[in-house]
Amino acid sequence: MLLKSIEVVATLTLIILLGCFLKHRNIITDKSSKLLASLAVFVAIPSMIFISIIDGYDKKSFIEIAPTILIPMANMIFLYFIALLISKLLRIPKKRIGIFISVITFSNVVLMGFPVASAVLGNESLKYGSIYFLGNTLVFWTLGIWLIKKDAKYINGENSVSEISNAQKIKEFLKNIFNPTIISFLIAIIFIFVNIKPPSFIYNSIKHISNLGTPLAMLYLGSIIYETSKMKFKYTYDIIILVAARFILAPLSMIIMLSFFNLKPLFNESFLLFSGMAAMNQLSVLAGLYSADKEYAAASVVSTLVLYPISLFLYSFFLTFL
C-alpha cells in the first residue's frame, strides 16, 4: 500500500513539476493557465462526477448514502468554532478573521479534490467525494460568504458591500451554487432515479473527457506554484498557523467525526482526503469582489496550494498505517 501511494504521489508530483517547467518556458502562459483551470473545472471534472455517479449508485444506494452529507457539514461547523477560538487566541485582526476561518474550514474540492482523489483512491471514491462537495458548497456559500462580508465591513465600514446590488448578489450566489459540477451531479442523479443509462457513445465520450481531469489540474497547480515563487507576499505568523490548521486540524476533526459512524473504508478515506485539501481558490476572488483583504486571502490560499504536495504524501503515508 505504501509503495503504491508513493508511486501515485510521485506521478502527480512529476506532472506538477512539468507544469512548473512549462510555465518557466512560457509554454503555459497566463492565458493558457486560465484555460487549463477552465477546462478542468467546466469540462473534465463535471465529467468525472457524472461518470462516478452513474457507475457508483442506483436509486436505493443513493438514498441510503445521501444523509451522510451532514458529516462534512457538521465538520465544517465544528472547524468554524475551533478556527474562531484560534483567531481570538492569536489576536488576529478583525478585518482578517473571516478569511482566516474560511481557509481553515473550507476545502478546494473541485479543482484539487476530485482529480487527486481519482488518482490516489480510484474513481469509485468520487461518488463519496460528490457528497462531500455538496456539503462544502452549501456551507461555503452561506457561512463562508457571511465571513468574507464581515471582514469587508471591518475594513470599509458597515456600508462596504452596498455597492454590490441585490440582483448582483443573487446572480453571484446562483452562479456559484449551480456550477457545472453541481449541474453534472444533478443530471446524473436524474438518470439513476429514472433508471436509464446514457447511450454508449455519449457515455464513452464523457468518460474519455473525465480522464483529463487529473493531468489538467496538476499542470495548472504546477504553473501556479511557479508563478507564486516570483511573487512577494508578506507572510505573517498567522498564515503559518492557518496552513498548519488546514492540513492537520481539518483532517483530524474529520477523523473524530467519522469515528462515530460505521462506514466503508473507502468512504472514510475519501472524506479524510477531501477534508485535508488546499483552501478554496474562490476565497481570493470573493475577497476582491466584496472589498475584503484580497492580498491576505491570496497569500493564504496560495500557501496551501504550494504546500499541498507535502500534505498529500503525508496523507498517503498515514493511510498505509491507518
pLDDT of residue 273: 92
CB 104 within 8 A of CB 96: no
Q: What is the reported pLDDT for 206?
A: 94
Length of the chain: 322
Chain segment 63-91, per-residue pLDDT in tens = 999 999 999 999 999 999 999 999 999 99
C-alpha cell at 272: 479524510
Q: pLDDT for 281-297, tens place per residue?
A: 788 778 877 778 888 88
Asked if residue 187 is part of any domain, the answer here is no
Which pLDDT belongs to residue 103? 94
Could you say which residues of the chain have pLDDT below 70?
Answer: 1-5, 157-170, 172-173, 176, 231-235, 319-322
How is residue 27 written as a grid cell?
A: 509554454
Beta-carbon neighbour count of residue 221 at 10 Å? Answer: 28
Bridge partners, residue 279, by sequence: 107
Task: Specify if 214 maps to a domain.
Answer: no
Query: Which of 119, 116, 123 is CA-nearest to residue 48?
Result: 123
Q: What is the pLDDT of residue 166?
A: 64
Percent of the chain with pLDDT over 90: 43
The rounded distance, in Å, linking the Cα atoms of 2 and 321 is: 9
Segments forming the whole domain that contains residue 97? 2-28+61-180+225-320
Are 20 and 226 spatial neighbours (Cβ–Cβ below 8 Å)? yes
Joined grid coordinates for residue 170: 443573487
What does the pLDDT read at residue 271? 94
User: Quick count: other Cβ atoms within 10 Å of Cβ 319?
Assistant: 18
213 is a domain residue: no
The predicted model scores a pTM of 0.85
Is 36 part of a structural domain of the chain? no
Cα(60)–Cα(39) distance, integer angstroms: 33
**In a domain? residue 297:** yes
Q: Which residues pair with 107 in a beta bridge?
A: 279
Which residues does 236 contact at the CB level (< 8 Å), separation at least 6?
Answer: none
pLDDT of residue 5: 64
Domains identified in the chain, total number: 1
Q: What is the pLDDT of residue 207?
A: 92
The CB-side HSE value for 84 (13 A sphere, CA atoms) comes to 9
Residue 22 · residue 158 · CB < 8 Å = no
Q: What single string gives the DSSP state of each residue in 176-193?
A: HHT-HHHHHHHHHHHHHH
C-beta separation of 213 from 118 below 8 A: yes
Half-sphere exposure of residue 51, counting CA atoms within 13 Å on the CB side? 24
Residue 272 in domain: yes
pLDDT at 162: 47
Q: What is the pLDDT of residue 321?
A: 60
Residue 193, domain member (yes or no): no
Q: Is 154 domain-assigned?
A: yes
